[in-house]
Amino acid sequence: MKILGVGFNYREHTAEATDLGIGLPHQPEPLFFHKGDALLKQGMPFFLPDMGSRIDYEAELVVQICRVGKCIAERFAHRYYQHITLGIDFTARDLQRAAIAEGKPWLSAKVFDGSAVVGHWIDKDTLGYPEHPIPFALRHNGLEVQRSDSSCMIHSIDKLIAYISRYQTLRMGDLIFTGTPVGTGPVAIGDHLEGYLGEERVLELAIK
């Protein structure tokens, strides 16, 4: 199983990134990266890494690939996933900022133990997708900090699958984090995160 992430897939977050001091080039095609073996076991807390870094939450829709595919046409991409959840792509923001400024990979900022978190999976038919967009939200210590829906993506789920599969074979169980909307922010020990698809809470996480 591999974990793939997508960067800057919501316009408002791209503007937010500029405010954070992250200079971004024009990116007409999806920007994707690997999260390595960073999946946090469900039900476990997230332990802040001892890196001396600012760790930010990024709530994202996550899709699970259900069949093998290579060079998938966008019109057929819907056949390659059935389950969706909310995930958190934890990011060492200061390390990411430095890597982007220096034109280096984001490995140290994105790939550390437990930095990929997923909630419980929901069938896309239950969510009414793609006929209806998927709303999602994240609460940080009880306060809503992120809210958006799948229609706000720059590149749709199906486009992401088609694009990524041009470069890498997608296999059963692979995860794609599809990008975060505006509202990212830092976490600290003692914080509590809750993620929602619509009104259903699919993720609950303690920071330790």
Complete domains list, the chain, with CATH: 3-206 (3.90.850.10)
**pLDDT surpassing 80 at residue 6:** yes
Distance CA 20, CA 149 (A): 23
Reference 185, options 1, 61, 20; nearest CA is 20
* pLDDT band, residue 159 (cuts 50/70/90): very high
pLDDT value of position 52: 78
Residues 6+ apart with CB under 8 A from 4: 32, 33, 34, 35, 164, 168, 174, 175, 176, 177
pLDDT value of position 26: 56
pLDDT value of position 16: 62
Phi, psi of 187 (to 5 degrees): -115, 160
pLDDT value of position 143: 98
CB 39 within 8 A of CB 80: no
Give the mean pLDDT of 76-81. Answer: 98
Encode pLDDT of 114-144 as tens digits.
Answer: 999 999 999 999 999 999 999 999 999 999 9
- pLDDT > 70: what percent of the chain? 93
Give the mean pLDDT of 59-84. Answer: 98
pLDDT value of position 13: 61
Three-state SS for the chain is CCEEEEECCCHHHHHHHHHCCCCCCCCCCCEEEECCCCECCCCCCECCCCCCCCEEECEEEEEEECCCECCCCHHHHHHHEEEEEEEEECEEHHHHHHHHHHCCCCHHHHCCCCCEEECCCEECCCCCCCCCCCEEEEEECCEEEEEEEHHHCCCCHHHHHHHHHHHCCECCCCEEECCCCCCCEECCCCCEEEEEECCEEEEEEEEC
pLDDT value of position 101: 81
